[in-house]
């Protein structure tokens, strides 16, 4: 090799080394490692991060994000990247959250939860093998991380690996306990069961999840999952609720399918039932000369009691609702019923249901009934009145305990 060739060779080596140095330096810059921040910058970054933590814990996401951006601009520490990814995720800025997690994990700072979150974010795209690898890595770090099992189940559904998805969701339920993601896991397990060919178990799981969280179907729909199944369930559930129709079944439909194809029809039927109850009770009250009614409402309780009270000598009825015990409810109903010198009212308690009273004026026959649906209570009260010999039985009042939010019964006697 001549001296010219040697010189050219050395120049190539030097150029290659320079390229490596430039490439390495660029990588360090992109990773936020070089040039390193000054000690003053690090201190200011720590102060901004502390501000971000305080804002995040107080629920002020915008303030947290602003402080995090300032902190990361000064010194891109792993804790700041991790928290910013969480804030961005909560705000629905998924691409930005993914970039922060990529940077965090690329620097070797990823925790099990970070891999699990990136698994979920990647599952939104077609990068499903990468998503599965992230969930696998999360479980290598923490074999008891329920979110990683649930997210890997999601990936399995998207990949058509339904048997594995079912196992993952089932494990997530076992290790996750009764946390906020139960409905997500149960719905996913239902989709996986349908995918395996077990439609009965699939529907049972999915409807259980919908009763707990009606929005869970929309959460899966953003991944393109469960849309056809929900359409089938929507039609079938509405058909069952409407024939024979009842408030309980129609309200269950509206709760499970808040944006269902039959929502308007179901709500119209609910309104019709309430209109029928109101008209029927108004007619019943008008049929009784001197009819009067009083109501009392307690402070409310998780286990809610109410009571019906009625006079034996007058057309006087009283209801109490939202009391912590049957004794309190009966005392309250009897007290307001016996006001104005009545004195012979008898009270009957009921618990966490709707109650109704029907009366036939000619025979003074009465029927009391309790049911989960107000319309069912009214119908049963009328039947009970007829069974006691009433020839003109009509409902005069019905009410539920605990009081539904849309109802505000009177708290003072009304004529």
Do the strands 292-297 and 316-323 form a parallel or antiparallel pair, or are they unpaired? parallel
Q: Are 292 and 327 in contact (CB under 8 A)?
A: no
User: CATH number for the 37-229 domain, one of 2.60.120.560, 3.30.470.20, 1.10.10.10, 1.25.40.10?
Assistant: 1.25.40.10
Structure confidence by residue, pLDDT tens digits, 281-304 = 999 999 999 999 999 999 988 889
Q: What is the separation of C-alpha 92 from the centre of its chain, rounded to a whole number of angstroms?
A: 18
Q: Given this model, what pLDDT does residue 4 score?
A: 56
* Separation of alpha carbons 215 and 57, rounded Å: 25
Q: Are 266 and 238 in contact (CB under 8 A)?
A: yes
CA neighbor of 117 nearest in space, from 107, 104, 126: 104
Q: Given this model, what pLDDT does residue 40 score?
A: 86
Q: Given this model, what pLDDT does residue 3 score?
A: 54
For the beta sheet containing 316-323, the strands, ordered from the edge strand earlier in sequence to the opposite edge, are: 292-297, 316-323, 305-311, 345-351
The list of the chain residues with pLDDT below 50 reads 13, 17-18, 20-22, 24-32, 407-415
Q: Are 78 and 114 in contact (CB under 8 A)?
A: no
Number of H helices, E strands in the chain: 17, 7
Q: Given this model, what pLDDT does residue 409 score?
A: 34
* Separation of alpha carbons 122 and 137, rounded Å: 14
Q: Given this model, what pLDDT does residue 259 score?
A: 84
Q: Given this model, what pLDDT does residue 23 score?
A: 52
Give the number of C-alpha atoms closer than 13 A to the C-alpha of residue 379, restricted to the C-beta side: 12
Angle, in degrees to the nearest 10, between helices 112-123 and 146-159 = 20
Length of the chain: 415
Q: Which residues contact 159 (CB under 8 A, 6 or more apart)?
A: 128, 132
What are the residue ranges of CATH 1.25.40.10 in the chain?
37-229
Q: Given this model, what pLDDT does residue 169 score?
A: 97
Do the strands 305-311 and 316-323 form a parallel or antiparallel pair, or are they unpaired? antiparallel
* SS3 of 373-400: CHHHHHHHHHHHHHHCCCCCCEEEEEEE
CA neighbor of 225 nearest in space, from 174, 263, 184: 184
Burial annotation 60-77 (CB, 10 A radius, 16+ → b, else e) = eeeebbebbebbbebbbb
Q: What is the pTM of this model?
A: 0.62
């Amino acid at each position: 090799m001549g001296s010219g060739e040697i010189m050219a060779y050395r120049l190539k080596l030097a150029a290659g080394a320079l390229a490596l140095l430039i490439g390495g330096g660029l990588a360090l810059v992109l990773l936020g490692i070089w040039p390193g921040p000054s000690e003053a910058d690090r201190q200011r970054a720590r102060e901004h991060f502390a501000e971000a933590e305080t804002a995040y814990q107080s629920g002020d996401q915008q303030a947290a994000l602003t402080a995090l951006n300032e902190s990361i601009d000064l010194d891109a520490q792993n804790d700041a990247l991790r928290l910013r990814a969480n804030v961005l995720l909560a705000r629905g800025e998924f691409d930005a959250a993914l970039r922060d997690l990529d940077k965090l994990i690329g620097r070797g700072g990823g925790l099990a939860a970070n891999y699990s979150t990136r698994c979920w974010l990647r599952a939104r795209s077609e990068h499903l093998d990468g998503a599965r690898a992230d969930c696998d890595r999360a479980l290598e770090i923490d074999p008891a991380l329920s979110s990683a099992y649930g997210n890997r189940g999601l990936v399995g559904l998207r990949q058509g690996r339904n048997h594995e998805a079912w196992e993952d969701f089932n494990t997530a339920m076992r290790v996750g306990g009764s946390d906020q993601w139960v409905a997500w896991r149960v719905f996913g397990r239902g989709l996986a069961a349908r995918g395996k060919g077990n439609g009965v178990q699939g529907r049972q799981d999915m409807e259980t999840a919908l009763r707990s969280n009606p929005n869970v179907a929309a959460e899966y729909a953003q991944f393109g999952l469960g849309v056809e199944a929900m359409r089938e369930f929507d039609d079938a559930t509405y058909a069952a609720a409407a024939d024979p129709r009842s408030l309980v079944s129609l309200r269950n439909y509206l709760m499970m399918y808040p944006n269902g194809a039959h929502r308007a029809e179901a709500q119209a039927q609910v309104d019709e039932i309430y209109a029928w109850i109101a008209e029927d009770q108004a007619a019943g009250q008008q049929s009784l000369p001197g009819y009067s009614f009083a109501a009392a409402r307690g402070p409310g309780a998780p286990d809610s009691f109410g009571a019906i009270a009625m006079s034996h000598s007058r057309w006087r009825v009283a209801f109490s609702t939202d009391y912590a015990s049957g004794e309190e409810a009966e005392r309250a109903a009897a007290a307001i019923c016996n006001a104005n010198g009545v004195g012979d009212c008898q009270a009957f308690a009921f618990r966490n249901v709707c109650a109704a009273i029907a009366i036939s004026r000619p025979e003074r026959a009465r029927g009391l009934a309790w049911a989960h649906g107000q319309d069912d209570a009214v119908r049963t009260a009328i039947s009970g009145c007829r069974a006691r010999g009433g020839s003109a039985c009509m409902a005069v009042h019905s009410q539920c305990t605990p009081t539904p939010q849309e109802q505000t019964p009177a708290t003072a006697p009304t004529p």
